[in-house]
């Protein structure tokens, strides 16, 4: 009898452990006017999303807004969040870290473009964990007037992508040019498809396009190929990429229509509209998708109930 009880207890403990480690997906978010702070969505299938009805981190650095929140998780399990801290004038971005997405470190203002006196902004930082080198890569868009060839957009809206790297978010490599595709570019996201195989989803911010393209490289820092033809409708931005089975879903913010949409691909060469497959709460803005687990989600849900 004791042996049966022990086996039953072991089975229950194993089931609880498996349940806690079940993969869920989380999606960073903000609501306009971007002063309240970090919001999160969750999904078990990566397609139908539910909002957690609270904010988790109020912005305290830079111009004290939080736009374009991006999260990556390091090998020690720590989540690192970066965000746009101001529309213009800020030459850095915000950063904070957390083990559970509830208790956060002191916020840090990372001033990456101080060496460029004419830099207008630092927009949409995206953090990517490079597991091969055990480092974080942060890329963002900055305008430096008169620096690059431009189209018909204003000179103060002629962006190129820059990057820095860090292993500990205490010391950062000097900021360098990441991507100059010959046109104004913002909202770029690095996607690892395999060893030595990377895609970059980016927004062509030139008029009249203002939509998504892709480029390729054998390293996360490039050099990247010339961008593809457009893959989304006009007036789309804020891409986030999630692999489900053999397909990659590229979520985007259709900002003029005030909705989220998606395209899907298996090869980053042909793309199909997948907007009818996804469901995103109204008001969700420009975030990134990352993997969590049931234990993290349960903690977030409990936190919401206590608010």
CATH at 113: 2.115.10.20
Of residues 4 and 167, the one with the higher pLDDT is 167
The answer to whether residue 282 sits within a structural domain is yes
The answer to whether residue 182 sits within a structural domain is yes
Q: What is the pLDDT of residues 188-237, one digit of tens each?
A: 999 999 999 999 999 999 988 999 999 999 999 999 999 999 999 999 99
The answer to whether residue 200 sits within a structural domain is yes
The answer to whether residue 18 sits within a structural domain is no
pLDDT of residue 13: 40
The answer to whether residue 11 sits within a structural domain is no
Confidence of residue 307 (pLDDT cuts 50, 70, 90): confident
pLDDT of residue 131: 96
The answer to whether residue 6 sits within a structural domain is no
Over 90: is that where the pLDDT of 115 sits? yes
Confidence of residue 12 (pLDDT cuts 50, 70, 90): very low
Residue 70 tokens, joined: 């991006």
Average pLDDT over residues 113-137: 98
Over 80: is that where the pLDDT of 1 sits? no
Average pLDDT over residues 87-104: 97
Average pLDDT over residues 3-16: 46
The answer to whether residue 251 sits within a structural domain is yes
pLDDT of residue 27: 98
Q: Hey, how many other C-beta atoms are within 10 angstroms of the C-beta on 195?
A: 8
The whole domain housing 127 covers 23-306
* 303 class by beta-carbon count within 10 Å (0-12 exposed, 13-18 middle, 19+ buried): middle
Compute the mean pLDDT over every residue in the chain, rounded to the nearest whole number.
93
pLDDT of residue 21: 66
Confidence of residue 18 (pLDDT cuts 50, 70, 90): very low
Domain count, the chain: 1
The answer to whether residue 288 sits within a structural domain is yes
Nearest to 231 by CA among 239, 223, 242: 239
Over 50: is that where the pLDDT of 15 sits? no
pLDDT of residue 7: 47
Of residues 9 and 257, the one with the higher pLDDT is 257
Average pLDDT over residues 107-132: 98
pTM over 0.95: no
Over 60: is that where the pLDDT of 121 sits? yes
pLDDT of residue 17: 45
Over 70: is that where the pLDDT of 91 sits? yes
Q: Cβ distance 126 to 188 under 8 Å?
A: yes
Confidence of residue 22 (pLDDT cuts 50, 70, 90): confident
Token pair 């869920």 is at which residue?
Answer: 24
């Amino acid at each position: 009898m004791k042996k049966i009880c022990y086996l039953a207890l072991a089975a229950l403990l194993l089931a609880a452990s498996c349940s806690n480690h079940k993969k869920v997906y989380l999606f960073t978010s903000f609501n306009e006017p971007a002063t309240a702070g970090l919001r999160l969505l969750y999904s078990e299938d990566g397609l139908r999303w539910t909002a957690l009805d609270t904010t988790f981190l109020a912005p305290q650095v830079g111009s004290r807004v939080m736009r374009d929140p991006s999260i990556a998780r390091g090998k020690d399990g720590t989540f690192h969040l970066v965000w746009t801290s101001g529309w213009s004038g800020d030459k850095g971005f915000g950063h904070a870290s957390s083990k559970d997405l509830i208790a956060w470190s002191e916020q840090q203002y990372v001033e990456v473009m101080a060496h460029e006196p004419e830099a207008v902004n630092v927009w949409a930082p995206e953090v990517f964990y490079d597991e091969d080198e055990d480092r974080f890569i942060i890329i963002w868009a900055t305008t430096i007037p008169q620096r690059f060839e431009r189209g018909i957009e204003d000179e103060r809206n002629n962006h190129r992508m820059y990057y820095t790297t860090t292993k500990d978010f205490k010391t950062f490599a000097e900021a360098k040019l990441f991507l100059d595709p010959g046109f104004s570019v913002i909202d770029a996201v690095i996607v690892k498809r395999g060893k030595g195989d990377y895609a970059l989803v980016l927004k062509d911010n030139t008029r009249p396009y203002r939509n998504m393209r892709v480029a390729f490289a054998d390293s996360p820092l490039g050099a990247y190929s010339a961008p593809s033809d457009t893959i989304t409708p006009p007036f789309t931005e804020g891409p986030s990429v999630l692999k489900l089975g053999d397909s990659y879903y590229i979520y985007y913010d259709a900002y003029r229509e005030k909705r989220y949409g998606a395209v899907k691909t298996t090869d980053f060469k042909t793309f199909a509209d997948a907007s009818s497959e996804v469901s995103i709460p109204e008001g969700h803005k420009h975030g990134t998708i990352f993997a969590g687990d049931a234990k993290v989600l349960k903690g977030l849900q409990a936190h919401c109930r206590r608010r």
